[in-house]
Amino acid sequence: MDIKPRLLDQVRGQIRLRHYSIRTEAVYLEWIRRFIRFHKYRHPQDMGASEVEAFLSDLAVRRDVSAFTQNQAPSAILFLYKQVLQIELPWLEGVIRAKRSQRLPVVLTREEVASVLAQLDGTLWLVSSLLYGSGMRLMEVLRLRVKDVEFSRLEILIRDGAKGQVTMLPSKLVAPLQLHLERVKQLHRQDLLEGYGKANLPHALARKYPNAAAEWGWQFVFPSINRSEDPRSGGIFRHHLHEKTIQRAIRNAVRRVGLHKPATPHTLRHCFATHLLESGQDIRTVQELLGHADVKTTQIYTHVLNRGGLAVLSPLDRP
């Protein structure tokens, strides 16, 4: 007699089968747990539209959670019913999503950015400078592999699933980044000597290329100080630097220079886009550098539009 795995184990298995990120896995599992707890541990198979709507209404009305949080919940529940329980609920896909407010992004002046970066040093300064100088998101910077940095062309390849995006590498960061990578390479050599030195490869690449995980090109540009166990494979790897390290450093730097704007690492991406447009860069080019699928997303930065005529130059490289 076959024994079915527990519901959450089934969810976990379906998520991993589809190569969703570990963050998505954690978020979906938490929402499904909350949905089940909300209905006194009834099995989702015995529930339907009214129970889901009651749960979502409670989030919006009684708990007053943000629009982003409200929209996470139906995605997790839809995955549970459609992919795990194999139950089609067409009404769930049509559930009205909370409309996220279109607030203008927080943007610092060039002088404010310079003052914040001046409060940082070492790896913290280098990561933060890349955020501003290339327009990458925080996790894109932290997930960079050595082979994704092309010094000769001053380019950085951002890998996002099957898609690939190219952004600029500021020339001012070439020497500091090369020096940083020399130190990382020494750390990698030491890991290899101690029987480690493998990076956690995305999806099934570890099986397809069993020796690639130990290669220098696959190592993280910004590795963690400590090795840790991968929660999925159980292997010991040196993962990338934790995002909270950078978030905390920038928050403290903003406070030290006396800024009262709610600036975060993502603010530096906003500054990248805004300062390029202010200097006359064409919005289509900025759209491509940011990786926006639609120019409408980039138009939130349109302080200045369509002046064109300038060669693309990182705001970090301008005098």
Domain boundaries, the chain: 7-93, 110-317
Q: Token pair of 228, please? A: 């840790």
**Which pLDDT score, from 0 to 100, does residue 305 have?**
39
**Which pLDDT score, from 0 to 100, does residue 149 have?**
96
163 is catalytic: yes
Over residues 238-293, the pLDDT tens digits come to 889 999 999 999 999 999 999 998 999 999 999 999 999 888 888 888 888 888 88
Over residues 203-232, the pLDDT tens digits come to 667 677 778 888 999 999 999 998 888 777
Out of 137, 147, 159, 239, the active site residue is 137
**Which pLDDT score, from 0 to 100, does residue 1 have?**
35
Positions in the chain whose pLDDT score sits under 50 = 1-3, 96, 162, 304-311
> Pick from 212, 236, 241, 211: which is nearest to 225 by CA?
241
Out of 163, 203, 244, 260, the active site residue is 163
**Which pLDDT score, from 0 to 100, does residue 66 have?**
61
Out of 238, 269, 270, 275, the active site residue is 269
Report the first-to-last Cα separation within the chain, whole angstroms: 73
Out of 39, 82, 110, 266, the active site residue is 266
Q: What is the pTM of this model?
A: 0.75
**Which pLDDT score, from 0 to 100, does residue 51 have?**
86
> Pick from 302, 284, 305, 306: which is nearest to 294 by CA?
284
269 is catalytic: yes
What is the CATH code of the structural domain delimited by 110-317? 1.10.443.10
**Which pLDDT score, from 0 to 100, does residue 118 have?**
96
**Which pLDDT score, from 0 to 100, does residue 3 have?**
44
Q: Could you tell me which residues come within 8 angstroms of residue 70 by beta carbon, excluding any fewer than 6 positions away?
A: 56, 59, 60, 97, 98
Out of 110, 159, 251, 292, the active site residue is 292
Query: What is the CB neighbour count within 10 angstroms for residue 197?
Result: 20
266 is catalytic: yes
**Which pLDDT score, from 0 to 100, does residue 217 have?**
93
Contact 140, 156 (CB under 8 A): no
Q: What residues form DSSP beta bridges with 118?
A: none
172 is catalytic: no
Domain 7-93 top-level CATH class: mainly alpha
